[in-house]
Amino acid sequence: MENLEPAYSTTVLLLIAAAAVALLLFLVMKVRLHAFLALVLVSLLTAVAAGIPLAMVPTAMLTGFGSTLGSVALLVGFGVMLGRLLEVTGGAQVLADSLINRFGEQRAPFALGVAALLFGFPIFFDAGLVVFLPIILTVARRFGGSVLFYALPAAGAFAAMHALVPPHPGPVAAGTALGGDIGVILLVGLPVAVISWYVGVYLVSRVLGKRFDIPVSDMIFGELDGGDDRPDVAPPGFGTVLGLLLVPLVLISFNTVLTTLVAGGTLEEGQAWVEALQLLGNTPVALLITLLLAIAVLGRRVGSMARTTEVLDQALAPICSIILITGAGGMFGGVLRISGIGDALTSSLSGLGLPLLLQAFLIATALRVAQGSATVALTTTAGLIASQASGYDDLHIALLVVAIAAGATVLSHVNDSGFWLVSRFFGMDEKTTLKTWTVMETTLGVSAFALAVILWPVAGLV
């Protein structure tokens, strides 16, 4: 559904958006209304208040809900089934033990983050987080303490790579709109992502982990000791488990790299072999293939196929709430986007005469706050400033993409589906998620923008 022409002035639309967020927070934090019900209710009220024609309100709501479910439901479903198999057979414990033996207990959070940076190069944020979930929780269970020590470095690594580094769709689309060289954007974005992750995520996670003692949730993978589900057989080898996790990495890499090459004109669109590899690398398809391989390789350690099916069925039961809440978060963000709130805000910011780098950051931030999606914020901001960016060299264009990505990362809150994924996966309520995940996403984005500001004058000397 296309964005509608704003029904009211920018000021009125901003007041509506602020009131909607405030009402949502009041309902879930004070009234304790279920987050799914609160999100749907506030989405409905916001659509009506923002002037969306009443006949179009259901479509506006279902557009955001359906698109989010389409991207999240299969990923979460396949991911937790795979995670449950790894958990029950001891595969996650094998990976955790290998990680700790190599890096030591004190560096376990750092090791998790570095591994997530590597896996996050081709894998989208939500898919990477789901695949890594059993490893994060297993390490956290072994050493105790707040799960944030282990969860935030890994989740923040996936967020940094997704926002800043090609071939992820946001930076690729932004770079293309600005007429930049994707290779240069990659060379600039990768070190910026790593440094921003270390400063804005890893160091911050040490502080947040000490301040917020969040126990390891047993909602996804059951009791902390594995209970009676753990079969009395030897766990799989490290190479077997690592190989299973590398399958989606390799398959998704085919898709992301080939899609980038086709978009850049290096490969011709429509070739059968390219389309076949893109299909295999489509994230849900790649996770389905991985899950089937895991059933074939690990299923015999669980027992019969009937017992394996029972284990997989048990994995799906707890995530119904997560999927519905995440979809409703997408609904809320979609309503805000369709109503024209984001467009009205960014058009007013673009006329303030600010320096281009700061303008790019602020417009992306405004879009991120207004409608939730980082990718939408990236692509829309690039389109808005494209005419002003003409004439800049590839290095300055790459820094503009970093500034846009930084703005599109900060202030993740209740209209962002990723906010709800993190909240539910790691057992945090909304207030705690705002004080931890939202803060960390903001420090990540600000760190990336600070690097872009530092490098901007240096780029003029190159």
317-349 confidence digits (pLDDT tens): 767 777 787 788 778 878 877 877 766 666 666
Q: Let me know if residue 4 belongs to a domain.
A: no
Q: Let me know if residue 2 belongs to a domain.
A: no
Residue 305's CB is within 10 A of a number of other CB atoms, namely 11
> Are the C-beta atoms of residues 184 and 174 closer than 8 Å to each other?
no
Instruction: Name every residue whose Cβ is closer than 8 Å to that of residue 83 and which is 6 or more positions away in sequence.
Output: 92, 130, 131, 133, 134, 220, 221, 315
Give the residue-averaged pLDDT of 81-102.
78
Give the residue-averaged pLDDT of 430-454.
94
Q: Let me know if residue 178 belongs to a domain.
A: yes
Instruction: Name every residue whose Cβ is closer than 8 Å to that of residue 251 and which is 6 or more positions away in sequence.
Output: 280, 281, 285, 286, 289, 290
Confidence at 223, pLDDT banded by 50, 70, 90: low
Number of domains in the chain: 1
Q: Let me know if residue 20 belongs to a domain.
A: yes
The residue ranking higher by pLDDT, 67 or 26, is 26
Q: Let me know if residue 369 belongs to a domain.
A: yes
* Maximal CA-CA distance, the chain: 68
C-alpha distance from residue 313 to each of 59, 90, 296, 302 (Å): 32, 18, 17, 13
> Are the C-beta atoms of residues 236 and 301 closer than 8 Å to each other?
yes
* Domain residue limits at 239: 10-459
pLDDT at 448 over 90: yes
C-alpha distance from residue 439 to each of 4, 106, 108, 200, 228 (Å): 32, 24, 22, 9, 39
Q: Let me know if residue 294 belongs to a domain.
A: yes
Mean pLDDT value across the chain: 82
Q: Let me know if residue 43 belongs to a domain.
A: yes
> Are the C-beta atoms of residues 173 and 180 closer than 8 Å to each other?
no
| pTM, full prediction | 0.74
Q: Let me know if residue 3 belongs to a domain.
A: no
Residue 193's CB is within 10 A of a number of other CB atoms, namely 28
Query: Residue type at 80?
Result: V
The whole-number pLDDT of residue 436 equals 94
Residue 37's CB is within 10 A of a number of other CB atoms, namely 14
